Amino acid sequence: MASTRRIDQHVIEKIKTILESLEYGTVQISVHDSQVTQIEKVEKHRLPLVKKQQTTLREQ
């Protein structure tokens, strides 16, 4: 059965701040007894792929 409890505005603002600061990653919200008890942020930093130059024996 769904709870009729309201989420504290401070919690909503915290979640918004975390989401706005995240470019790539995940946000996990843990709930216990219909209350947000933990917010986890896993951030990923994407690095550009740099191709290595291939050298052949003839060039050495």
What's residue 11's pLDDT?
96
Per-residue pLDDT of the chain (60 residues; tens, 9 = 90+): 566 788 999 999 999 999 999 999 999 999 999 999 999 999 999 889 988 877 666 665
Contact 27, 20 (CB under 8 A): no
Query: Contact 41/30 with Cβ under 8 angstroms?
Result: no
Q: What is the pTM of this model?
A: 0.67
| Helices vs strands, H then E, count in the chain | 1, 2
Answer for the pair 22, 46: CB distance below 8 angstroms, yes or no: no
